[in-house]
Amino acid sequence: MKPTAVASPALTPAVFQQLYQQYSGQLCAYLTRSLRGDTTEAEGIVQEAFLKAWEKRDNLRDPKAFKSWIYSIALNVLRQRKRKLRPLAVEDIEATCERPSPEQHVAASQELDRVLAALDTLPDDQREAVLLVRLENMKFREAAEMLGVPENTVKTRVRRGLLTLAEALDL
C-alpha cells in the first residue's frame, strides 16, 4: 500500500515565503549557469518551480528536505523547457541574478570565460551534476535525489566532468 502524503503544518504561507527568499536567489543563479547565462529564462523557471511547489506542498513530507525538493522541481521544469528551447549561446557571461561588483567582474572575467567555455563542452548530465555538487555545494545524495539517479551515478558524472574540465582548463 502506497503511503499517503501528509500536509506539513509547518509549510504555511509565511514559511513558504521565507523559503522562497532563502532559496530563490541561489536557485536562479544555478539555473542561469545551467542555461549559459540566460537570466530571464532562469527567473521564469524559478517562478514556475515555486508555483508548482506551492501547489504540491502537501507532497513534501520533510520540510528539512525543501532545498532538494525545490531544486528537483526546478530541474524538471528546466528539462521540459529545454525540449522546447533552441540551443543557447553564451552571449552575456556576466548575466546572473545578482551582478558582481565591477571590481569582482574585472578580476574574474577572463577565468569565467574559460570556465564557461569548458562547462559548455560537458554533456548535460555531467554539467548538471558538477554544478549541483561543486558550485551549489550539495551532497552527492541530495544531487542524486534531485536528478533521479543513484548516488554512484552522480559521483561518476562529477568525476568525469571534473576530469574533462581540468583537461580543458589545463589544470
CATH number at residue 28: 1.10.1740.10
Give yes or no: residues 88 and 13 share one domain: yes
Could you say which of 37, 72, 92 is where a domain stops? Answer: 92
Q: Name the packing angle between helices 66-84 and 13-34 (round to 10°).
A: 50
Between 23-27, 40-44, 90-94, 163-167, the lowest mean confidence (pLDDT) is in 90-94
Could you say which of 72, 92, 112 is where a domain stops? Answer: 92
pLDDT band at 125 (very low <50, low <70, confident <90, very high): very high
Integer CA distances (angstroms), 90 to 7, 117, 167, in order:
42, 8, 21
The string of DSSP codes covering 141-159 is HHHHHHHTS-HHHHHHHHH
* Mean pLDDT rounded to a whole number for the chain: 80
Per the CB < 8 A criterion, the answer to whether 66 and 26 are in contact is: no
- Residue 153 pLDDT > 70: yes
The range of the structural domain enclosing residue 36 comes to: 9-92
| Phi, then psi, of 95 in degrees rounded to 5 | -75, 115
Give yes or no: residues 76 and 106 share one domain: no
Per the CB < 8 A criterion, the answer to whether 131 and 33 are in contact is: yes
Residue 136: how many other CB atoms lie within 10 Å: 18
CATH number at residue 154: 1.10.10.10
Nearest-CA neighbor of 121 among 79, 84, 94, 90?
90
Give yes or no: residues 26 and 59 share one domain: yes
Give yes or no: residues 68 and 19 share one domain: yes
Regarding predicted confidence, which is higher, 52 or 8? 52
pLDDT at 93: 46
Give yes or no: residues 105 and 79 share one domain: no
Q: How many domains does the chain have?
A: 2
Give yes or no: residues 74 and 115 share one domain: no
The string of DSSP codes covering 15-33 is HHHHHHHHHHHHHHHHHHH
- Residue 1 pLDDT > 80: no
- Residue 159 pLDDT > 90: yes
Could you say which of 37, 67, 92 is where a domain stops? Answer: 92
pTM beyond 0.75: the answer is no
Q: What is the spatial distance between Cα 61 and Cα 5, in angstroms, rounded to a whole number?
A: 7
Per the CB < 8 A criterion, the answer to whether 76 and 22 are in contact is: no
- Residue 47 pLDDT > 70: yes
Q: Is residue 4 part of a domain?
A: no
